[in-house]
């Protein structure tokens, strides 16, 4: 059997991460067609009896249209204000799409402190597990509005890994507009090849990643 073929059929608790560029147009504004397609797939998996969690970027982009902006601001304060507006827009959009497919969602905002402090860790874990027990699909993002550098997780790839640990997930899926892990930067190396499966994470893998 080909070692690159994985059977995910038996995985029950699944974390899916989607990046801003995947659910946004080149203009930076939300791509409703892609969001609806993603929601339909997740709702169908939930209907199969799986427990789905969605880690979604896009709050900052979602704030562009309501504030009549055509680009992201540069200052931290403006980005935080944009995220505050965009979080509501993003959740409303997800809630509307998921409701059409018969699913209930809930928003969870996390910071690094939620994984480092024992009581916060347990509170976050208990909240997420209770949502799953109730059939709710958690939609998770970093709390960009209040997170400062020492409490920032950094990116949603890292956040999704943190969430997977919080809930003892069986599988983490990263949805991206990048084709995969390459042997070198494909933008600068024409001979770069995709590595389909990483069997061992060593220094070489860290260096090329």
Task: Give the pLDDT score at 47.
Answer: 96
Task: Please state the three-class secondary structure of 122-169 as a single string.
Answer: HHHHHHHHHHHHCCEEEEEEECCCCCCHHHCCCCHHHHHHHHHHHHCC
Q: Closest by alpha carbon to 93, among 52, 46, 144, 33?
A: 33
**Residue 11: half-sphere exposure toward Cβ, Cα within 13 Å:** 17
Mean of pLDDT values over 78-91: 89
Helix 76-100 and helix 32-47: axis angle, to 10°? 50
* Rounded alpha-carbon distances, angstroms, from residue 69 to 64, 65, 66, 83: 5, 6, 8, 13
Mean of pLDDT values over 78-95: 91
Task: Give the pLDDT score at 180.
Answer: 83
pLDDT digit string (tens) for 6-50?
Answer: 667 789 999 999 988 899 988 888 999 999 999 999 999 999 999
Give 12's contacts (C-beta < 8 A, 6+ positions apart): 49, 50, 51, 170
Query: Which strands, in side-by-side order, build the sheet including 13-18?
Result: 104-110, 136-142, 51-56, 13-18, 171-175
Q: Around Cβ 130, how many Cβ atoms within 10 Å? A: 12
Architecture of the structural domain at 13-177: 3-Layer(aba) Sandwich (3.40)
Mean of pLDDT values over 74-92: 88
Task: Give the pLDDT score at 4.
Answer: 46
With left for phi above 0 and alpha for psi between -120 and 50, is residue 126 left, alpha or beta? alpha
Domain boundaries of the chain, sorted by first residue: 13-177, 179-209
Task: Give the pLDDT score at 94.
Answer: 97
Q: Could you give the CA distance from residue 50 to residue 48 in angstroms, rounded to a whole number?
A: 6
Count Cβ atoms within 10 A of the Cβ of residue 144 and give its class: 0-12 exposed, 13-18 middle, 19 or more buried: buried
Task: Give the pLDDT score at 198.
Answer: 87
Q: What is the pTM of this model?
A: 0.83
Mean of pLDDT values over 54-73: 87
Task: Give the pLDDT score at 147.
Answer: 53
pLDDT for residue 194 is more than 60: yes
Residue 193 CA, distance from chain mean position: 26
Confidence band, pLDDT 50/70/90 cuts, at residue 142? confident
Task: Give the pLDDT score at 144.
Answer: 62
Confidence band, pLDDT 50/70/90 cuts, at residue 85? very high
């Amino acid at each position: 059997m080909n070692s690159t073929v994985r059977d995910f059929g038996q995985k029950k608790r699944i974390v899916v991460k989607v990046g801003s560029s995947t659910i946004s147009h080149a203009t930076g504004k939300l791509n409703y067609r892609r969001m609806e397609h993603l929601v339909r797939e997740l709702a169908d998996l939930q209907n199969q009896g799986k427990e789905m969690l969605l880690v979604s970027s896009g709050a900052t982009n979602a704030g562009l249209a309501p504030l009549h902006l055509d680009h992201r601001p540069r200052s931290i304060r403006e980005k935080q204000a944009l995220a505050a507006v965009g979080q509501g827009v993003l959740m409303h959009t997800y809630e509307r799409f998921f409701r059409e497919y018969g699913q209930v969602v809930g928003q969870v905002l996390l910071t690094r402190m939620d994984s480092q402090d024992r009581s916060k860790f347990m509170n976050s874990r208990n909240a997420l597990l209770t949502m799953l027990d109730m059939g709710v699909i958690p939609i998770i993002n970093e709390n960009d509005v209040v997170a400062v550098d020492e409490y920032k997780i950094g990116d949603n790839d890292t956040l999704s890994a943190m969430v997977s640990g919080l809930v003892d997930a069986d599988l983490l899926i990263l949805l991206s507009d990048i084709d995969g892990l390459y042997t070198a930067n494909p933008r600068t190396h024409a001979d770069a090849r995709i590595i389909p499966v990483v069997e061992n994470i060593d220094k070489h893998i860290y260096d090329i990643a």
